[in-house]
Amino acid sequence: MLTPPKGRDLLSMADLTSTELHGLLELAAQLKAGTYQPKCPNKVLGLVFSKASTRTRVSFSVAMYQLGGQVLALTAGVTQVGRGEPTADTARVLDRYVDVVAIRTFEQAEIEEFARYASIPVINALTDLEHPCQILADLLTLKEAFGTLENLTMSYLGDGINVAHSLMLGCALAGVNIRVGTPDGFAPNPTVVNQAIELAQGRSTVVVTTDPKAAVQGSHALYTDVWASMGDESEAASRIPKFQPYQINQAMLDLADEHAIILHCLPAHRGEEITHDAKEGPQSRLWDQAENRLHAQKALLASILSAV
């Protein structure tokens, strides 16, 4: 039974219930197959982005156009946001013009403040803490590869930040076992880890380790992200030796399930978190995963805007 999150914010993956998440994935699959085409004409999505983006920006825009709506690109450089207009004021003004906003910024507190001041739905399009829209596409890709989300294990190797956080919460809600392997000092936020354990409700397991081999043993999906995220670029070179044992390469694939798939939110730094062969090889699902951003976010927008 589909229970879409009508009229609500998606600030964290944990804003969804397990039923809502499964419902969104089902809807995304229907939209991808072309068997159902909801419409929300005259609705306007504002993209309030303070960080770079290819996939999120374009997939949200195309999703909204395909739903019959319109998009406004409100990058910080072209609005008064870049000149320091407070979030609370921006939120109350945009609230009067657009029907939904997707925000990409640094602090999670900023989108929470925006949502407090705006009555329209607010979608997290990436903060330093979370990237829930990415994980909708990732779970859709996993489900497509195995035909189910039951009895699967996802392994994430790398930096324990935004993508890892939402992935832990999303896997916990979806009933997928999640193992996160990070170098010392780069473990996920303990509050998010506890939240994931709570959301899993014993349906699936949540493991955090510094042992990359233990993290990938027998796993069905190996997932990684850049070693230095947007905002951490100054540490990129110094992190390489610490993160090297967490690279996704043939040796890691050999430890995983023989049908394991490789995932990466992209953009990728070949030769760092993932080898060229792993990225381009037969187990890679990177392009399906990127395509699924479109279908998953279209499902999210259609649900939030009550078009389904």
Choose from ligand CP, ligand NVA, none: what does 124 bind? Cβ within 5-8 Å by kind: none
CA distance 91 to 94: 5
Choose from ligand NVA, ligand CP, none: what does 229 bind? Cβ within 5-8 Å by kind: ligand NVA
> Which C-beta is closer to ligand NVA: that of 152 or that of 265?
265
Using CB under 6 A, which of 265, 278, 300, 301 touches ligand CP?
A: 265
134 a catalytic residue: yes
Footprint of ligand CP on residues 185-244 (CB under 6 A)? Answer: none
Q: What would the x/- binding string for ligand NVA be over residues 229 to 268, using CB under 6 A?
A: xx----------------------------------x---
CA distance 300 to 10: 9
Give the active site residue among 22, 57, 131, 239.
131
- Give the residue carrying structure tokens 């850049």: 226
Report the length, in residues, of the chain.
308
Footprint of ligand CP on residues 40-99 (CB under 6 A)? Answer: 53-56
**In the complex, least distance from residue 243 CB atom to ligand CP, rounded to whole angstroms:** 19
Assess 134 for contact with ligand CP (CB under 6 A).
yes
**In the complex, least distance from residue 143 CB atom to ligand CP, rounded to whole angstroms:** 19
Q: What would the x/- binding string for ligand NVA be over residues 187 to 226, using CB under 6 A?
A: --------------------------------------xx
**In the complex, least distance from residue 229 CB atom to ligand NVA, rounded to whole angstroms:** 3
Tokens of 107: 């602090």
Residues 6+ apart with CB under 8 A from 33: none
**In the complex, least distance from residue 126 CB atom to ligand NVA, rounded to whole angstroms:** 6
Assess 19 for contact with ligand CP (CB under 6 A).
no
* Residues noted as catalytic: 104, 131, 134, 225, 265, 293
